[in-house]
Structure formats: C-alpha cells, structure tokens
Amino acid sequence: MTHLLLPSTRVHTKDIDQLTLDLVINRKAARAGVLVTALAFTGLLTLAASSTFVVGALTDERVSPPPEALAAAIVYFPGSARLNARLAEHELVQEERDLSLAESYARRAVNLSPWDYNYRLSLANVEEASGNRDAAEASLRSALALAPNNADVHWRMANLLLRLGKAEESIDEFRKATVVNSSLLGATLDLTWRASGGKVEQVEAVTGNDPKSRLVLAQFLLKQSSVSEAAIIFGKIDRFQRLKTPETSAFLSLLIDSGRWARARELWLDTVSADGAPPDRRSSLIWNGSFERESVRDLPQFDWNIGATQYARIALSGDIAHSGSHSLRISFAGRDTTRIDGEIKQLVVITPGRRYRVECYSKSDRLATPGAPYLAVLDARTSLEIGASGPAPVGSSDWARLSCEFTAPDNCEAVLIEIRRLPKFSYDDPTEGTMWVDDFALMELGSDK
C-alpha cells in the first residue's frame, strides 16, 4: 500500500495553549467591559431617578421644604430649572429677601428651560418686586408668546398693565383671560370698576359677548346700584338665551331683593312671553290665572309658586276647571290644625295708593273644616294681610266666586296673592275633602285718594 506524503499541518501543543489563553482573556475583557458599561448605565439611571425624585419632592407646591434643603439641593442639581424657579419664589417671600439672588435664580431657570412660560412668570414677579415693571412687562410678553391661550398669563399681564396705568391696554388682556376662564370675570369686573372710577363702559368692554358673561355683568352693575344700565344689558340678551341660562333667575331675584319690583316684573315678562309684550293694564295683573300655561321652568319670580305641605296634596287638575281645561286641586290630608300659608302664592306688582279687586273661583267636594280656606292679599314687603275674601263653600258645591277689594298702602309696590287656611286656635279639628280654585284675576279700580 502506497502512502501519500502531505505537507506537515501539525500544530504544536504550545501554540494551541497560547491561542486558548488569548481567547479566554479576550472574552473576560469583553465581559468586564459589558459589566462596566452596565454598571455605569445603571448608575446613571439611579442618579437620574434620584435627581428626579429629589427635585420633584422639593418643588412640589403642596409642601414647603426648609430653605436649607433647597440650598443643599441646588449644589447637587444646579441644572434643574424647576429647582432654580422654586428658590426664586422662596426668596421672594422671605421677610428679609434678597431680590438680586431671587432674580439670578429666576433667570437661570429661564435660561435652562427657555420654552417654559411658567419660569418667565416667576421672573416677572421678581422684576416687579424689584421695581422694574418695564422688565416685568417684557417677561410677561415673552410668556404670552409661548402660551397665547393661557388665561393666567393674560390675567397677570392685564393686572400689570393696570398697575402701570395702561388701563386701555389692560382691557384686551382682561377680556382674553375671561373668555378662556369665565371664573375670572367677577374679579375682573371688580378690578376694572375700581380702577376706572365706576365707568360702565369700561366694565362692559372687558366682558365677553356670550349670554352668561353678559348676565354676570348685569348682576355686577345691579350690585353697584347701576339699575338702568344693568336692565339695558339684560334686555339686550336674546330672550331664548335668557330662558336657558341659570344666571337669568339670579339676576331677577337680585332685582326683586333690591326692591325694584316693577323693573323685575317688566324684564320677567319680556323673558317668558312669546311676544315679549306685557299684558294690557285693563286686564288681569295675575300671570296664568287660569292655569292654562305651563310653569316657567327655573324662573319662578312672578309665576305661581306651589309648595309641598303635610296638610294637603296640591297639584294641577286636568279634568275639572271653571274655564279652559285646568284648575288647581287641593286634596286635604285630614290632619288636625290644618295650615295652608305660603304654599299657593304669586307675586304681583301694583301701584301704591291704588284700589284693586282680586278674585278667583272655588269648587268643593265633601269639604269638611272648622274654617274654610279663603283668598288673601299680603304686602310682599311686610307679609301683612291687607285684603281677604270670605271663606270657600264647604261640603260639595259648584263653582263660587271669592273676591275682595283693597287699597295698596303707600309703600306697597307688590303683593302676594294666596289661598290661605289658618287655624283659629292652637288646635282645631281636621280639614278633609277636596277643593279646586281657578280663574284668578287682579284688576285696578283706580286711585283711592
């Protein structure tokens, strides 16, 4: 057998050992490098997390860290805009404050985070405290450029302009602030009113054109005793907008509470009447005397006010009526010492010194009582009774007229028309049965003088 001789490919054992050693060393070095890198990265993450935690804790507005903690933290985290801003704010409120130090902190915060408008607001605070209002205005304008739709920035700018004597310029800023945040309108009106010396046109200028804002303005002017101006502003608001805006009821109630009965009635009628026209003075002054209209939701001022009582169930009736298709039904609960006093009433505006006749119609079914209900007229200001009809028929009766005449006292501009049932003694027998009332009317008869 012939053997082929090949070139020698034998690797010496010594060479193999050396190669193996080199590989092991290289692998260990790589692993060590990875480990060092991982440890370094973990350290950085830990440092970042601790930095975020510390800075977050010290700048939390809900806590008040000691000044020593803030001073120590800024040494370790000088690049934190939040921490610098917090130090500026803290220094600003100190009794013996260093405004130069506060400004340096505030400026550093701005430089570290130039796109955050909040830090420019802090700088503006420090600048104004230092007496440099022009610089404060520049800082606020920079903040506005970064946050053009922020109500707080517009609000601060408006206040600063007002303090600078730039009242006309402040109007636009106030208006922009209140459009974004309507809760600022009350304070805006108060500031503008005082700064302008009570000029209606100034407070009107800072108010938006939406119905809610106009109603807030009307209420404000009413509180300042500018009744005519308040009524004009209220009257210019679209009637349908008034009907669905809650502030309408508050305005009318405020007008009544201030004793402006006639003006309140006029505006109420203009709001609830489809044609906006008040009733003919020759007709009844009572609204919805036959109960054919639906109650005016959320505007009870001059409508029927029907309250609950333990002595009777009071509700509209759609099956029995003196005229039309509705009446008011009073179903007595059979309790002793029955009292109906204020549960059925309507506020009506009248003229002092004039003579009036009030009437309604009553029907009863098995009405048993020691003292039947009656139609009453009360002075709205004093609650004193100034007119009363005879009692309603007892037992079961058809429709009967209840009426009385009265003269309005000199200072009486409004009355309450009520159905009353008052006990004569501290105890009387139960009142039972049912009665209906309908077709209320109040007519002026002329002067009694």
Is residue 416 in a domain? Answer: yes
Same domain, 309 and 261: no
Domain that holds residue 409: 305-447
- The two structure tokens encoding residue 402: 């209840």
Distance in angstroms (rounded) separating the CA atoms of residues 370 and 420: 14
Which residues have C-beta within 8 Å of that of residue 381, sequence separation ≥ 6? Answer: 259, 411, 412, 413, 414
Looking at the fold, whether 272 and 315 belong to one and the same domain comes out as: no
> Are 273 and 241 a contacting pair, CB within 8 Å?
no
DSSP 8-class letter at 184: G
CATH number of 407's domain: 2.60.120.260
**Same domain as 424, residue 344:** yes
How far is the C-alpha of 343 from the C-alpha of 417, rounded, in Å?
A: 11
Average pLDDT over residues 36-60: 45
- Tell whether 422 is covered by a domain: yes
> 160 in a domain, yes or no?
no
How far is the CA of 233 from the CAs of 23, 56, 183, 237, 273, in angstroms? 92, 49, 20, 7, 18
Query: What pLDDT digit, counting tens, does each position of 101-150 carry?
Result: 889 888 999 999 999 999 999 999 999 999 999 999 999 999 999 999 99
* Count of beta carbons in the 10 Å neighbourhood of residue 188: 25
- Do residues 254 and 319 share a domain? no
DSSP code, position 145: H
Residues 411, 366 share a domain: yes
Asked if residue 171 belongs to a domain, the reply is no
Of 259, 278, 297, the position where a domain reaches its end is 278
| 278, 313, 335 - which closes a domain | 278
Tokens describing residue 316 = 């509209």
Closest CA to 176 of 159, 158, 191, 193: 158
Both 323 and 268 in one domain: the answer is no
User: Do 312 and 229 reside in the same domain of the chain?
Assistant: no
d(CA 240, CA 226): 25
Q: Are 260 and 367 in a shared domain?
A: no
Q: Which of 55-69, 128-142, 383-397, 413-427 has the lowest mean pLDDT?
A: 55-69
Residues 360 and 433 both lie in one domain:
yes
Mean pLDDT of the chain: 84
Residue 394, in any domain of the structure: yes
Amino acid at 249: S
Q: H or E stretch including 152?
A: helix 151-163
358 phi, psi to nearest 5 deg: -120, 145
% residues pLDDT > 90 (the chain): 65
DSSP 8-state code for residue 132: -
Over residues 347-377, the pLDDT tens digits come to 999 999 999 999 999 999 999 999 999 999 9
Q: Write out the two tokens for 82.
A: 């939040």
Classify residue 147: in a domain, yes or no.
no
Helix (H, G, I), strand (E, B) or coil at 327: strand
| The pLDDT value given to residue 438 | 97
For the segment 411-448, what is each residue's pLDDT rounded down to a tens digit? 999 999 999 999 999 999 999 999 999 999 999 996 65
Same domain as 357, residue 432? yes
In a domain, 6, yes or no: no
322 and 263 share one domain: no
72 within a domain of the structure (yes/no) = no
Cα 326 to Cα 172, 291, 315, 321, 322: the distances in Å are 54, 6, 10, 5, 8
Q: Decide which of 260, 278, 296 is a domain's last residue.
A: 278
Handedness of CA 166, 171, 174, 180 (dihedral sign): negative
What's the total number of domains in the chain?
2
Give the CA distances from residue 21 to residues 32, 120, 144, 293, in Å, rounded to whole numbers and listed in that order. Answer: 16, 63, 68, 105
Do 327 and 411 lie in one domain? The reply is: yes
